[in-house]
Amino acid sequence: MLPNFKMEGERNKFIKILIVITCITAAVMELIDTSIVNVALTNISGTLGATLEDASWVVTAYAIANVIVIPLTGFLSRYFGRKNYYLASIILFTLASYMCGNAGSLWMLVFWRFVQGVGGGALLAVSQGILFDQFKPEEKGIAGGIFGMGIVIGPTIGPILGGYIVDNYHWALIFDINIPIGIVAALLTWKFVDKKADEYNIDRKSIPIDYIGILSLTIGIGALQYILEKGQSDDWFEDETIRYLTAAAILGLGLFIWWELTTKNPAINLRVMKSRNLIGSNILTFVCGFGLFGSVYLFPVMVQRVMGYTPTESGLSMIPGALVTIFAMPFIGAGLGKGIKPIYFVSLGFALFILHGYTSSQAAPDADKWWFIITQICRGVGTGCLTVPLLTQAVVGLKTEDMPYGISLNNMFRQLGGAFGIAIMNTYATNRFATHRMDLVSNLQENNPLLNERLYGITQGMIAKGMNPSIARQAANGVLDHSLSNQAQMQAYLDGFLLIAIFFVCTIPFMLLLKNETMDAETRAKVAAAAH
């Protein structure tokens, strides 16, 4: 009999590994798709005959759907059953990926990206709950570290993978690679993920649907996400659509907050926000999302536009940050499991992110890749120190039945922070470029001997290559103008990194809202069970 027990134990361990791989893969797949398309927009617009501005809807549609669904995952899991909802979401995500890769027009692609975002919304939060169920209470910290590793490296891998595909294959492969992964994840979920006791014979008639809350959240968050994604390109409040959607966001979110605080059966229980600890954790999580997505947006754009990197090279430059995250997250999770207070990791994460922003802002136009390796390592470890500890800290003091609401709100604040980060970095870099260019132009005086000497050298070089002298002079002015714009662009992006550091410094006081408590194994187990 002993050998049979041993074989059964080995089988359970194998199944546990399969489930862990499934959950991490599904979550990473969802997060990769938030950033993988960014580097392919030029190719997509060219292939489908659309403007680059219209092609950006491919990113916007996914983000809008994602940020609407994420806070509702707790309710949807209860209503349909966690396994059913998770499996349906994987299938929907995979089907939408296939349709995206085969879209014949831009707006068909945009539609299926929205559907993909609806399916992807569950892959993050529900994966977390299923993963945590596979570990004993004393192992929950390690589970958190493993899952947090996926949260951090997903947005980083996106540009790397997207850049390689765009440089070597057709952009449709960006979506098609999800198909085999999704099929395997769906089969493994169907076969090996067990239903919990409350998922059998669900009495849906006893679960009221908060139609007003869901509708007002959809309108408010959807409008806000559109404003953040399209505000810069549409000239913000100069655009009539932006003005109307601003009003819709204010009214929708205002109605949502009021209704959820007053109705008997809210879709999202905002009353948990009475917890000072949850408020502080959500604010700091927002900052974490702002820094992570803002820096991941800034870096590849800067090195491609200013320093001449290819999409593949810019993606590869981000690998060091991903690698250190892979190594750091299990140690962070183990530390939490052993009782190290989350505030220590949060403090270290803030310090490293401030260092990342400041160091990046000091880069020179001719900085080599080693300079950025240091900054990427700071970002990778810093984000790792913030992600899981802040989620753990968010639910300290909450009742077990309130934990799903606290976790879903925490996930939503991370996504909103990322949306704000990208939007603010885009707007800020554009405005700073105009300022730096104006400053540089104002310093160009016709009687400046250094300026005349440089123009003369460029002109003579072009004449030596056979260019007409009068045309060579105009071309030299063009070369100088391009160099000036390049310098102004570089300074604008560096200012963006400095802004990230300043943002982190300004929000340090919110750490005072956190309860400096160690979570015991039993409470961590409750967090794990509720983390879906």
Q: Where are the domains of the chain?
A: 12-201, 210-266, 271-429+496-531, 437-486
Q: Mean per-residue pLDDT for 429-442?
A: 80
pLDDT of residue 137 exceeding 70, the answer is no
Q: Which residue has the higher pLDDT, 475 or 264?
A: 264
In percent, how much of the chain has pLDDT > 90? 11
The amino acid that residue 412 corresponds to is M
Q: What is the DSSP string of 272-311?
A: GGG-HHHHHHHHHHHHHHHHHHHHHHHHHHHHHHTS---H
Cβ distance 278 to 395 under 8 Å? Answer: yes
212-255 residue pLDDT tens: 988 998 898 888 877 876 776 677 778 888 899 999 999 999 99
* Nearest residue to 412 (alpha-carbon basis) of 509, 267, 515: 267
* Tokens describing residue 447: 């009687």
Q: What is the dihedral of CA 399, 402, 407, 412, to 10 degrees?
A: -140
Say whether 315 sits in a helix, a strand or coil: helix
Decide if 160 contacts 376 (C-beta within 8 A): no
Please name the residue that has the structure tokens 């979920």. Answer: 189
**What digits encode the pLDDT tens for the residues 366-383?**
777 777 888 888 888 888
Q: What pLDDT sits at residue 155?
A: 66
Give the residue from 155, 205, 185, 146 showing the smallest Cα distance to 35: 155
Mean pLDDT of 341-346: 86
Which pair of structure tokens corresponds to residue 50?
Answer: 């659309």
Q: Taking residues 35-47, what's their average pLDDT?
A: 76
Q: Please, which pLDDT band fits residue 356 given cuts at 50, 70 and 90?
A: very high
**259: Cβ contacts below 8 Å, ≥ 6 apart:** 210, 212, 213, 216, 266
DSSP secondary structure letter of residue 127: H
pLDDT over 70, % of the chain: 79
| Cα separation, 461 vs 380, whole angstroms | 45
Least trusted range by pLDDT, from 113-127, 187-201, 452-466, 477-491? 452-466
Distance CA 14, CA 130 (A): 16
Q: Is 27 helix (H, G, I), strand (E, B) or coil?
A: helix
* Domain at 12-201: CATH architecture: Up-down Bundle (1.20)
3-state secondary structure of 107: helix
> How far apart are the C-alpha atoms of 31 and 123, rounded to whole Å?
9
The mean pLDDT value for 115-144 works out to 74
pLDDT at residue 465 greater than cutoff 70: no
Question: What's the confidence (pLDDT) of residue 351?
Answer: 94
Tell me the per-residue pLDDT of 284-337, one tens digit each, with 9 for 90 and over: 989 988 888 888 778 877 887 788 777 777 777 877 877 787 777 778 877 877
DSSP state at residue 105? S
Residues 50 and 173: beta-carbon distance below 8 Å? no
Q: pLDDT: is 488 or 339 the higher one?
A: 488
Q: Which residue has the higher pLDDT, 457 or 324?
A: 324
Instruction: Say whether pLDDT at 1 is over 60.
Output: no
- For residue 120, CA distances in Å to 62, 240, 304, 387, 502 come to 9, 31, 29, 19, 32
Average pLDDT, the chain: 78
- Res. 151 pLDDT band, cuts 50 70 90: low
Give tens-digit pLDDT for 184-209.
888 888 888 888 777 778 877 777 88
pLDDT band for position 138 (cuts 50, 70, 90) = low
Contact present, 114 and 300 (Cβ < 8 Å) = no
Q: Give the span between the Cα atoms of 234 and 254, in whole angstroms.
A: 25
Per-residue model confidence as pLDDT tens digits over 51-107: 766 777 787 788 778 878 887 887 888 888 888 898 999 999 999 999 998 888 888
Residue of 330, 325, 332 whose CA lies nearest to 347: 332
- What does the pLDDT read at residue 502? 93
Q: What is the CATH number of domain 271-429+496-531?
A: 1.20.1250.20
pLDDT at 396 over 70: yes
pLDDT band at 458 (very low <50, low <70, confident <90, very high): low
The Cβ of residue 373 has, within 10 Å, a number of other Cβ atoms equal to: 16
- Which of 83-87, 156-160, 237-241, 457-461 ranks highest by mean pLDDT? 83-87
pLDDT value of residue 528 = 44
Examine the pLDDT at 159 and tell me if it is beyond 90: no
Residue 3 has pLDDT above 60, yes or no: no
Helix (H, G, I), strand (E, B) or coil at 191: helix
Instruction: Please give the pLDDT value at position 228.
Output: 74
Determine the average pLDDT of the residues in 487-495: 88
Residue 247, pLDDT score: 93
Question: Can 12-201 and 271-429+496-531 be said to share one CATH topology?
Answer: yes
pLDDT at 501 over 60: yes
Residue 279: exposed, middle, or buried by beta-carbon count in 10 A (0-12, 13-18, 19+)? middle
Terminal alpha carbon distance of the chain: 38
Amino acid at 187: L
In sequence order, what are the residues at sequence separation of 6 or more whose Cβ sits closer than 8 angstroms to the Cβ of residue 528?
129, 132, 133, 135, 137, 140, 143
- The pLDDT value given to residue 31: 75
The pTM score is: 0.75
Q: What is the DSSP letter of 104?
A: S
CB 421 within 8 A of CB 297: yes
- Confidence category of residue 455, pLDDT binned at 50, 70, 90: low
* DSSP-assigned letter for residue 519: P
Among the residue ranges 147-151, 165-169, 279-283, 521-525, the one predicted with the least confidence is 521-525
The two three-digit tokens of residue 247, written as one number: 């009003």
